[in-house]
Amino acid sequence: MEKLYGYVGKIARINLTSGEVSIIPTSNYVPKYIGGRGICNKIFWDEVGPGVKAFDPENKIIFMTGPTTGTGIPTGGRTVIAGISPQCYPEQYTWSGIGGWFGAELKYAGYDGLVIEGKAPERSYIWINDDKISILPADELWGLYTYETQLKLEEIHGKDVKSLVIGPAGENLVRMAVVASANETAASKGGFGAVFGSKNLKAITVRGTGTVQPADVEAVLRLRHKMGKPLYYTNPVKISKTFEGPGMNFPVEEGVKEIRTCCSHGCNQHCPRLFLDVKSVTQKSGRINQVSKCVGPFAIEWVNDCGWVPAQTFASEKNNNPACLMMSGAVVPPDLTDPAAPELFDFHPGDTYNLWEPDYDRGMVINELCSQYGLNKWDIIIWLMPWLAMGKKEGVLDDLDLGMEIDPSSEEFMKHLLDMIVYRKGYYGNLFAEGMARAIRELGKEKYGDTIYQGRFSKRLNGQRLDIPISFEAAWGYSAHWNGRGYQGSIDITAWLPILLELMTSSRDPQPNTHHHDTIDYMREARKDLYHGLAVPKSAIMNENKAELKEAITSCDWQLPDVYWPTAEAELFEAATGIKMSEEEMITAAERLKNLFRAILIRNYGRTREMEVNEVLPLHSYPDADGNVLDKKGFQVLVDNYYKLRGWDVKTGWPTRETYERLGLKEVADELEAIGKLPD
Amino acid sequence: MEKNTPTMNDKKYGRHIVQYPPEVSACVGCNACEIVCALVHEGKAGPMLRRIFLERDTVMLFNHVIHTCQHCVDHPCYDACPKKDAAMCLDEEKGIVYINAEFCIGCKRCIKACPFEPKRINFNKSEKKAVKCDLCRNRENGPACVEFCQVRCIGLSDQPLPPPPPTPAPPEGKPNENDSEQTPSA
């Protein structure tokens, strides 16, 4: 076999039922499926058929790195977990990205990935010490918070181990439980923490002392320079008297102390904020450091939704910056000599909701509890808490006895409620542990989901009240996220329409790996004919393909895609592997991964056009911040065009045989044809 | 145990890499220093190939500590080497204690002699060779760890501290009414 660069050559299959460990050569899957999520899709397609449920031992936890992981290629520390998701509604195959240091360490131990199957007879954790893999009793770890679990593993196996862990939420099969690493770095989407729990698996800890060899060291260093600019600034502790967040600016009595940090091995940026010495309810000292990026600040204050400037999404040649630079504050000032500047920096203020007033301590405590219990903040901060606030104001929750007066602005109430949920205490604890999508249906969606909140006011429309339901449900069991209404709802129709297509064809909220990007020229073109033109579906497809590549090679959504550097992904891949692929070949590879994912949804979960169109219509029937609602008739044309561009049948939404075969997936087409799931 | 501090520019130690205090620049724990160190020396990345050692603060993320060779003036590692001047060598002009891998026999005596804890000399178990910081003595741009540190939290002990980050100059004409609301969210 030819030497593989970037990859280390082995995937470990670990059967928790039998304790057997076997090795799969990575070369079975690469370069065709590239790495990361691409390999996850292929393994899942080959090994998990229809009918398996998320908590069945037959479900698999597939963890994959990319060829860039551990090589020093910028943001290669990103990795992927995939399998059947208990958070998805209905349950289906999905994935979650995670940064941290586990993936690089796993490669240094000699593995590109892990396939974990079965169910351990006892509470267990996996210990990987280079080429030795053991399944050990987890009695000492069970019940611990996520941070303490990691520290305990360091105590047992040495300071250099890196761990993926679950908290009490995962142990108790809470459907929105995360798999965590480091501080607040987590695979949040999907509820894979609960899949760990269902397999009696508390943690995976690894020590790797080997090496990873990129094909071209000089290219790696060039990429670090290129993707690092214009940074290389210092990161001093910043002390201020006020907390500033998206749309937030209020005084904090004890002051705010923070630095920037990074979230994965080898990252060349430092976009997350690390708040120092904040209130803690899990540490004896009563203080802790807390990472915060996008969702976290909204537990602190939610008077207004966050605003949006088109420059976050659309770029011109003169104003083109990755999100990480904007986030870290290191972005260069806008170039206002750019003729596109008035459009790019036309600020869209977020809608007013008046959910809760600022409280720095309360917000930090909720963030800490989510991290320590191992809960997906999107389900808690973006869905449960606003639902409680809006539902209470509308009188919908009067009959709910949660053991305390419902008040999401109260730290004590939220501590009480999260404790109920995580430990599944009582009827309501169990109900909300099933996640918001299921809880609301159990309570009765018409009343508890669809009641209109009367307190949403659009600043774009001079304070006009706009309808929004009390439940911020977007699709597939996930909350709104840059959908033009609900949380991060200030984005305009040229952006939320392609995002809608991305959501439609996914099995979860796709925005964490598909933050939409395009050129200012796209925005202008899309506006000419939103529903009948090809600008919107082409933009969706471009972003979906780039997202596939990001999570395959692997790299970070906060740096890529760069719409003026279309060969970025090919350059990163080549630096790691030495395999030269043109931009077109990379896009074909991305299409292969997307269509294989599509085939899984079709074969295992009966995905059709009708199903996915109906899934995304409800939220988009409410007005966006500009008062626009989805044109349902026009949307059908948009979907037609999207499917045609994808090579999918417009009636069923299924890829054609020609499409599968063009992408080297003939065997997939054959299998689907045998079960009647190829279009006529 | 002896510690790294940026004030160690005394007669006991030679020119070496220092970690600045967080008031100057807080380490973000990204490991870039370790990775590029191994890449420029060995063409591969991995814990056993690094010549600079990041001790990560797993949970609090604030107290990441970077351990480096101090290039001790009395060079006990050099003295302990049975192949001194062939394997462990001195560049007296630059004050650098370095290893010529070709002649290293992997006896680990240099590691035992290193007065620091954790040790500042690593061991490549595949090649059975000791590896240590040579301040990238043959590299045109100097130490790669310094060049590629994204937050400039490390530097050479005889160099001035890096400047604070620039305060972004306000653009001509404010693009919107509320700058703080421009922060992108994931």
pLDDT (tens digit per residue) in A158-206: 999 999 999 999 999 999 999 999 887 999 999 999 999 999 999 999 9
The pLDDT of residue A419 is: 98
Q: CB–CB of B59 and A71 under 8 A?
A: no
Write the pLDDT tens digit of every residue in A425-469: 999 999 999 999 999 999 999 999 999 999 999 999 999 999 999
Q: Is pLDDT of B174 > 60? A: no
Whether the ω angle into residue A230 lies within 30 degrees of 0, i.e. cis, is: yes
Q: CB–CB of B164 and A108 under 8 A?
A: no
| Length of chain B as a residue count | 186
pLDDT grade, residue B10 (50/70/90)? low
Instruction: Flag whether residue B6 sits within 8 Å of chain A, measured between CB atoms.
Output: no
Q: How far is CA A326 from CA A167, A228, A250, A293, A342, in A?
A: 32, 13, 21, 12, 18
Mean residue pLDDT of chain A comes to 96
Average pLDDT for residues A652-664, to the nearest whole number?
Answer: 98
Residues paired with A64 in a beta bridge: A80, A113
- ipTM greater than 0.90: yes
Instruction: Flag whether residue B168 sits within 8 Å of chain A, measured between CB atoms.
Output: yes
The pLDDT of residue B24 is: 96
Q: Tell me if A568 sits within 8 A of A575, measured CB to CB.
A: no
Q: Is pLDDT of B173 > 80? A: no
Compute the distance between CA of residue B3 and CA of residue A628 in angstroms, rounded to an integer: 62
Q: Tell me if B175 sits within 8 A of A347, measured CB to CB.
A: yes
**Which positions ≥6 away from A213 have C-beta within 8 Å?**
A5, A6, A71, B43, B44, B45
In chain A, % of residues over pLDDT 90:
93
Q: Which two tokens stand for residue A149?
A: 């679990």
> Is A564 buried (19+), middle (13-18) or exposed (0-12) by CB count in 10 A?
exposed
Q: Is pLDDT of B186 > 70? A: no
Q: Is pLDDT of B177 > 70? A: no
Residue window 43-102, chain B: list those with CB within 8 Å of chain A: 43-49, 55-56, 58-62
Compute the distance between CA of residue A134 and CA of residue A506 in angstroms, rounded to an integer: 35
The pLDDT of residue A231 is: 65
pLDDT grade, residue A1 (50/70/90)? low
The pLDDT of residue A450 is: 98
**Closest residue in chain A to residue B176, using alpha carbons only:** A347
How far A312 CA sits from the closest chain B CA (Å)? 6
**Which positions ≥6 away from A190 have C-beta within 8 Å?**
A81, A83, A85, A86, A87, A88, A94, A95, A96, A508
Write the pLDDT tens digit of every residue in A576-597: 999 999 999 999 999 999 999 9
**Three-class secondary structure of residue A310 per DSSP:** helix
**Closest residue in chain A to residue B186, using alpha carbons only:** A294
* Residue among A234, A288, A333 minimizing CB distance to B24: A234
Compute the distance between CA of residue A206 and CA of residue A183 in angstroms, rounded to an integer: 17
Task: Give residue A614's identity as a one-letter amino acid code.
Answer: N
Q: Tell me if A180 sits within 8 A of A368, measured CB to CB.
A: no
pLDDT: which is higher, A323 or A675? A675
How far B186 CA sits from the closest chain A CA (Å)? 5
Q: Which two tokens stand for residue A228?
A: 């690092």
**Closest residue in chain A to residue B33, using alpha carbons only:** A266
**Three-class secondary structure of residue A104 per DSSP:** helix
Q: CB–CB of B32 and A330 under 8 A?
A: no
Q: Tell me if A524 sits within 8 A of A316, measured CB to CB.
A: no
Average pLDDT for residues B94-122, to the nearest whole number?
Answer: 97
Task: Give residue B183's identity as a one-letter amino acid code.
Answer: T
Q: Which two tokens stand for residue A211?
A: 């090496």
